[in-house]
Structure 1
Amino acid sequence: MAYPEDLLGEDEYVVVHKHPHWKMLVVPVLVFLVVVGGGAYLAALVAPLSWHLPAWIAIGVLGLILAVWLTLAPLLRWKTTHFVVTTQRLMVREGVFTRSGVDIPMQRINSVRFRHGVVDRMLGCGTLIVESAADEPLEFDDIPHVEHVHTLLYREVNGDYRDDWDHEEYR
């Protein structure tokens, strides 16, 4: 999915557009399964009771609230978080109701580093660390294919363009 063209300047195009790695959705999915399983178990427990209908309604409402709060909200947060490298800047946008963003012009970036442990390496993600001219280093967690993003960003900063790194699989 391409980043909206109307948010880009003239002669600016997207080099990389990523959402955070899917690993941040593992816990919400597990919570959803526990909520559904727990709700079904509780509903089966109260089924023989005379007041089972109000209990089922209460279990359903509580399950719905937990599912929305602990599963749907993180999914929306993941979907609305964008990490974008263009030919002129690095952009990060996040948030559902309250949006926030960071833009760093390429000429202000001093260094680009990445870090990933064993689990991150197995999953194919990591943390990208960007140092700019005036700010403390910014860390962007759970970037998919962090080594390739690091290389692309480094090349954009230094004006060293190579088309062989511009593969669709890393976008």
Structure 2
Amino acid sequence: MATDTDGAAINGERVVARLRPHARALFWPSLLLIVGGGTLAYFSNVFPEEWQNVALVGVGGLLLALLWLIPLFRWLSTRYTVTTRRLVMRRGLFTRIRQEILHSRGYDVTLSRGALQSMFRSGDVIINAGLEQPLVLRDVPSADLVHDALHDLMERNMNPRGHAASAAGDETTAYGVR
């Protein structure tokens, strides 16, 4: 069976959404990079000997780059993919973790958000499928939309014939007789 880049089957399974945590997580590291870069530039010529100035800028620049790159790579390494059949969560910088939940299995979806998350319309979507620990999609943008989409996909996969039968009418068929 053919698959796309995320491993989702092209025949019968479509990707509904690809999500990452809210980019707000990169605000403080980016601010630190800007302020730290300006501070390094200001103090780059404070020592009397040139090697000391070069060492200050080199070590400070390396430290600032690490303090910015580690959160960036951590943010980039977390992905949530919602398809018509399942929810896939991939995360991890050095150790990759992949978790999948089929919509047909049935689960409980809860939305949790703090004050800052409410301002940005993001939130934590908690999916409890009866496992030891619930699957948490942390700080997802448009959390209300994700919450509603997961409910709809689960309902469709739990009762796939229910939607077709309700469209046909309210007539009950028992043993081939109406």
TM-score over 0.5 (shorter chain) = yes
The letter for the 2-side match of 1:100 is I
Residue in structure 2 matching 1:121, options 118, 132, 135: 118
Aligned to 1:155: 152
State the partner residue of 2:135. Answer: 138
Query: Residues 109 and 45 (structure 1 numbering): CA distance in 2 closer, same or farther, change over 3 Å?
Result: farther
Aligned equivalent of 2:99: 102
Q: Distance in 1 between matches of 2:57 and 2:97?
A: 34
Bigger relative contact order, structure 1 or 2, given CA contacts below 8 A and separation 6+?
Answer: 1
The structure 1 segments of at least 4 consecutive aligned residues displaced by more than 4 Å after TM superposition are: none
Alignment of 1:51-62 (within 5 A): 51=49, 53-62=50-59
Aligned Cα RMSD in Å?
2.0
For 1:6 and 1:38, how far apart are their aligned partners in 2? 42
- Quickly say closer, same or farther: Cα 1:6–1:145, change in 2 above 3 A: closer
- In structure 1, C-alpha distance between the alignment counterparts of 2:89 and 2:119, rounded to whole Å: 25
Q: Check if 1:11 corresponds to 2:12.
A: yes
Structure whose CA Rg is larger: 2
Q: 2:75 is matched with which residue: 74, 78, 98?
A: 78
Label 1:124 to 1:101 Cα distance change in 2 as closer, same or farther (>3 A).
Answer: same
- Give, in angstroms, the shift of residue 6 of structure 1: 5.4
TM-score, normalised on structure 2? Answer: 0.78
Whole-angstrom distance in 2 between the partners of 1:123 and 1:96: 26
* SS across alignment from 1:159: helix
The residue number in structure 1 matching 2:164 is none
Paired-residue identity, %: 31
Whether the aligned pair in 1 keeps the contact of 2:37 and 2:61 (CA below 8 Å) is: no
For these two proteins, the number of residue pairs brought into alignment is: 154
AA of the residue aligned to 1:32: L
Contact 1:43 / 1:55 at 8 angstroms: preserved in 2?
no
1:77-108, Cα deviation, whole Å (9 max, x unpaired): 21221111111111111234432211111123
Partner of 1:35: 36
Q: For the Cα contact (< 8 Å) 2:127–2:136, is it kept in 1?
A: yes
